[in-house]
Amino acid sequence: MTSTVRLNWSELLDEYRRLNPCSDEMSARASAVLPGGTTRTTTFFQPFPPTLVSGAGCVVLDVDGNQRVDFLNNYTSLIFGHAHKKLTAAATGAAESGSAFASPTEHEILLAEVLCNRVESLDKVRFTNSGTEATMAALRLARAFTGRSGVVRFAGSYHGTHDYTTTPGAGVPSEVDALVLTARFNDLGSVAEIFQTARQVIAAVIVEPVLGAGGVIPAEPRFLEGLRELTADHGALLIFDEVISFRLHPGGAQARYEVTPDLTTLGKIIGGGFPIGAFGGRDDVMALLDPDTGVISWGGTFNGNPVSAAAGVAALTELTEDVIEGLNASGETLVESVNDALRDDRVPVHLTGVGSLFNIHTTSDSITDGSAAMIVDHELLAAVHIGLMNRGFFLAPRGLGSISTPMTQLEVRGLADSIVDLATALLVAR
């Protein structure tokens, strides 16, 4: 499919403003009480994000009455889309008995049992309120277990918003920054070099089996296998951040890759659309959290919240192997169809992806690590994003998207055709 229609950034912005006057007003109102008009920096884009009022299935509705197919799914957390009846019923039923307690509930126990039975690396698990909290807790646990302070992460990775995963950055103490060592994703040699010079200080290597914010880049199998060997050889822990990648297999990406980490962090889909996070792993490591030992005290007013836990149990019950296979097939079809169409036209746009996860990149270069994913045509990416918003598709400004169960081939094909059409139209205009 090749477009002959000329499009430019200015025209796309004008159309976006025309379609979203009420969201424009709401953004101005929000900016008076929220920095930049938002609570989440990741949701902001120019000129303003739409103000949403509801969602049903795979469609979201904004204050201007625009309906968009939601391929973002609250950054991949809504694998069953919006307002799924069984998940909503589970959460409502739990809430009617009380929304929070200062003591365990059976909902918390049930979800822990489901996760430990499903994920091979989980002997025991603890709950948090988000993936950010989960990675923060896992890193603290690794430092306590090893008696070391250093952390190896990868360029382009995202493990939440806290000091040990956002470095370097404003507000991060230089003392913390010095303890966070950055390697290159899919480059085992860069990790080996770090261990050669800093093996005595490295407590853990934390890695996403699939870089999420870094561009939906899957790890090469030998890379993860090598990390397993390196950490074991040097007495460091291997942490898999599966907050995003857990959706790829009933046992998480670690089951897909057949590599077992020491600790695993989870979030997003395990809460059925409600706030949640979890971290867990080997018995001997998790034992440091046992209140009888007193080694690490870890609390949180809403950890193990019964509403989120009940929705999570319902979600994981529904998320069977067949469901996951269907989602993965749809995602792979999307990536293949777009890349096949644009390869012939030599358009500097292509998709990366694995299973039901994908990302739009505005470059013709192959992308295998997070650093490469940043070298794109950002103006073109912004134009493609706004163009898709104008055509009724909701994705992240950086091009991230995911497939949810309410989607049919009609929605998937519609997105594929729109990406191809926009990419070629914008190229013609240059």
Residues annotated catalytic, as ranges: 158, 241, 268
Cis, bond preceding 173 (omega within 30 deg of 0): no
3-class SS string, the chain: CCCCCCCCHHHHHHHHHHHCHHHHHHHHHHHCCCHHHCCCHHHCCCCCCCCEEEEEECEEEECCCCEEEECCHHHHCCCCCECCHHHHHHHHHHHCCCCCCCCCCHHHHHHHHHHHHHCCCCCEEEEECCHHHHHHHHHHHHHHHHCCCEEEEECCCCCCCCHHHHCCCCCCCHHHHCCEEEECCCCHHHHHHHHHHHCCCEEEEEECCEECCCCCEECCHHHHHHHHHHHHHHCCEEEEECCCHHHHCCCCHHHHHCCCCCEEEEEHHHHCCCCCEEEEECHHHHHHHCCCCCCCCCCCCCCCCHHHHHHHHHHHHHCCHHHHHHHHHHHHHHHHHHHHHHHHHCCCCEEEEECCEEEEECCCCCCCCHHHHHCCCHHHHHHHHHHHHHCCEECCCCCEEECCCCCCHHHHHHHHHHHHHHHHHHHHHC
Nearest Cα neighbor of 277 from 316, 250, 253, 242 is 242
Name residue 306's amino acid. P
